[in-house]
Amino acid sequence: MSVILLGHQKGGVGKSTTAVNLAVALSIEMFKGDTKNILLIDADPQATLYRWSQRREDAGLISFPCIRLEGNITQQIKRESEKYEYVIVDAAGRDSREMRSAMLASDIMLMPTKASRADLELLEHMAETVEMSRDYNPNLKVGVFINMTPTNSQAEKITAKKLLKEFPEFKLMSTTISDRKAYRDSFSSAKGVHEWKDSKAKSELSCLLQEVVNVIR
């Protein structure tokens, strides 16, 4: 019923990592480990999400329903969302047809960003894209969160938060996700941080999930 899109024109910001971690966190925190209420849609030709889910199956872990879609995917997402409690869509790291069409069927687009100025300046283009999408999907919420922030420094985080205030199109999530090995290692093992041994990563993800759920509720 709720569609969460991970989207950004920039590659490598953590969209796929966040998609899998939100899926695992949702299943554990809301469905007692049951995964059948959560559909993963991989809308990226790189198939990162799809391959993660295949590796999960191969490893004998509880797998998530997962499909691949391409092109104009608005109607397909809407149809699928009627059958699941949550749909998580991972779009390619560029301004793709899949990202734009998914924005028309989503409740929230989550945009991970790094805290550097160069990365934050790219939000300008995304702000225009969001404005256009809202002509067709006025209820689209857009949440930006800072990802891969250094665990030992607050300075970058503070500057980024200041800069992000210049974009009224976006809601700045109060959760920031740190750069932690746990995100890379759990992904390699076809898991999420809720299934890993780093309690700080797990607690960051819980906070992000809670915020997302509150925004779309």
Contacts with ligand ATP, residue ranges (CB under 6 A): 11-17, 44, 46, 48, 93, 147-148, 177, 179-180, 183-184, 187
Task: Mark 33-52 with x for binding to Mg ion (rule: CB under 5 A) and - for no binding.
Answer: ---------------x----
Provide the strand spans (E) within the chain.
2-6, 38-43, 66-68, 86-91, 108-113, 141-146, 171-172
Q: How far is the CB of 80 from ligand ATP (least distance, A)?
A: 21
3-state class percentages of the chain: helix first, strand second, coil last, to nearest 5: 45, 15, 35
Does 16 bind Mg ion (CB under 5 A)? Our answer is yes
Pick what 210 binds: ligand ATP, Mg ion, none; C-beta below 5 to 8 Å, kind-dependent. Answer: none
Could you count the other beta carbons within 10 Å of the beta carbon of residue 70? Answer: 15
Task: Provide the residue type at 188 as one letter.
Answer: S
Does 178 bind Mg ion (CB under 5 A)? Our answer is no
Residue (11 or 71) nearer to Mg ion, CB:
11
Host H or E run for residue 15 = helix 15-31
Cβ-contact 5, 89 below 8 angstroms: yes
Q: How far is the CB of 180 from ligand ATP (least distance, A)?
A: 5
Host H or E run for residue 111 = strand 108-113
d(CA 18, CA 52): 12
Q: At what angle do helices 15-31 and 181-188 cross, to 10 degrees?
A: 80
Q: How far is the CB of 32 from ligand ATP (least distance, A)?
A: 26
Does 18 bind Mg ion (CB under 5 A)? Our answer is no
Residue (148 or 212) nearer to ligand ATP, CB:
148
Does 186 bind Mg ion (CB under 5 A)? Our answer is no
Q: How far is the CB of 89 from ligand ATP (least distance, A)?
A: 12
Residue (19 or 38) nearer to Mg ion, CB:
19
Q: How far is the CB of 172 from ligand ATP (least distance, A)?
A: 17
Residue (15 or 202) nearer to Mg ion, CB:
15
Q: What are 89's strand-pairing partners?
A: 5, 41
Nearest-CB residue for ligand ATP: 93
Length of the chain: 217
Expressed in angstroms, the distance from the first to the final Cα of the chain is: 11
- Compute CA distances 141 → 7, 33, 180, 198, whole Å: 12, 27, 27, 30
Residue (75 or 153) nearer to ligand ATP, CB:
153
Q: Which residues of the shown chain bind Mg ion in the complex (CB under 5 A)?
A: 15-16, 48
